[in-house]
Amino acid sequence: MPRKLYNFLIDADLAAGLKAMKARDGVAESEQLRRALREWLTKHGVMKSGRRRERSRKRQGGNHG
């Protein structure tokens, strides 16, 4: 799905929290915001609750047995 660029300001305490989580968990601030926004929109009935599925990898051939 193509992404759209948004540009907005957030409070300093929120920015500090995002940076702390990135340092702790290694999740980029932008990804944290996407996840939180998706959850918030789902909670408010704007989006469906099903998560988008990533493509699964093809199985490697071989003997399974």
CA-to-CA dists, residue 23 to 17, 19, 34, 40, 59, angstroms: 10, 6, 18, 23, 34
The pLDDT of residue 63 is: 58
Residue 18 pLDDT exceeds 80 = yes
In which residue are the tokens 């988008």 written? 52
What is the residue extent of each domain of the chain? 12-43
Residue 54 pLDDT exceeds 70 = no
Calculate mean pLDDT across residues 6-12.
97
How many C-alpha atoms does 25 have within 13 Å on its Cβ side? 10
Stated pTM of the model: 0.71
Q: What are 40-53's pLDDT values in tens digits?
A: 999 999 999 876 55
The pLDDT of residue 49 is: 82
Residue 35 pLDDT exceeds 70 = yes
